[in-house]
Amino acid sequence: MSKQIAGNLGNNPIKSGITAGFPIFIGYFPAAMAFGLIANNIDLTLYESMLFSMVLFAGASQFFALNLIASGAAVYEIVIGIILVNLRHILMSASLSRRTTAKSIGARLMIAFGNTDEVFATASSSEGPIETPYLAALEATAWTGWVTGTVTGFIGGSILPSGLQQSIGITLYGMFAALLVHNVQKEYWYIPVAAAAAGLNTILGRVIHMQPGWAFAVSMILASLIGAALLPKVSESFREAENEF
């Protein structure tokens, strides 16, 4: 991540926010295309897919949602799963809230909305206090990539040849496998955590026959507790939050 001055040296902060957000736009667009493609494949409508991306705006958890919807999990199970996956944003917002210049309630409510993993990483890599117009422009750029990618992927999914349509069921798992590889590349000790969750979910769902949503939530929490208890450190991306007390 390049060191950028957060628009606080008299430059136009909106312009520098858009510039800093552009790499996120480029990264989000194809990921959101994959989301739109899969959403289409499990028979969500275009408007449902768009609404997901416009208001939830939380990458991985939207893919989790599609998986649980496709598996027929109950609404409350799906909602609990998504909220658990997104709890980590507390760490990122806690860190961001100490760097931001936003004083008014309205400004805080606004910049909190777009605080995704990538926005946080980019904003945190800048020097000094983070101006609200800069952060808002950064978030808006990322958000635009996510939403337009979703629509593009959804429409693209409709025009695929029917032979390919059949094999699209695999895309969701391809996405999970790719996300896991990217996480493990950052921290190798994530491997036993993921393996523990996979093993627990298989046992709870297949052997004990727990409801799929509950098996998922319980195995995720247990594996995370094991990981938190046994594994070495808080990672690079959260280090700032760790260092400041």
Partner 1 sequence: MSFDIFAIILFSTAGTYFSRVIPFFAGFLDRLPIFFKRFLQVMPVAALGALLFPGLLTDFSHAPAAGLVGAAAAAVTALFTKNLIFPVLASILAAYLML
Instruction: Indicate the residue among 5 and 214 with the shorter CB distance to partner 1.
Output: 214
Pick one of 9, 12, 113, 127: the residue that binds partner 1 (CB under 8 A).
113
Give the CA radius of gyration of the chain: 19
State the burial class of residue 222 (Cβ atoms within 10 Å of its Cβ: 0-12, 13-18, 19+).
Answer: middle
CB of 9 to partner 1, least distance (A): 25
Give the C-alpha separation, 6 to 3, whole Å.
Answer: 9
Pick one of 6, 24, 36, 64: the residue that binds partner 1 (CB under 8 A).
64
In this chain, which stretch among 4-12, 13-21, 47-55, 126-134 interacts with partner 1, using CB under 8 A?
Answer: 47-55
Of 32, 186, 21, 35, which Cα lies nearest the Cα of 119? 21
How many other CB atoms are found less than 10 A from the CB of residue 53? 25
Asked if 11 touches partner 1 (CB under 8 A), the answer is no
Asked if 1 touches partner 1 (CB under 8 A), the answer is no
Pick one of 8, 101, 171, 211: the residue that binds partner 1 (CB under 8 A).
171
Of 136, 144, 100, which Cα lies nearest the Cα of 13? 136
DSSP state of 115: -
The upper half-sphere exposure of residue 116, i.e. CA atoms within 13 Å in the direction of its Cβ, equals: 27
Instruction: Indicate the residue among 9 and 177 with the shorter CB distance to partner 1.
Output: 177
- According to CB under 8 A, which residues from 135 to 164 bind partner 1? 163-164
Pick one of 166, 188, 208, 209: the residue that binds partner 1 (CB under 8 A).
166
Pick one of 140, 194, 211, 214: the residue that binds partner 1 (CB under 8 A).
194
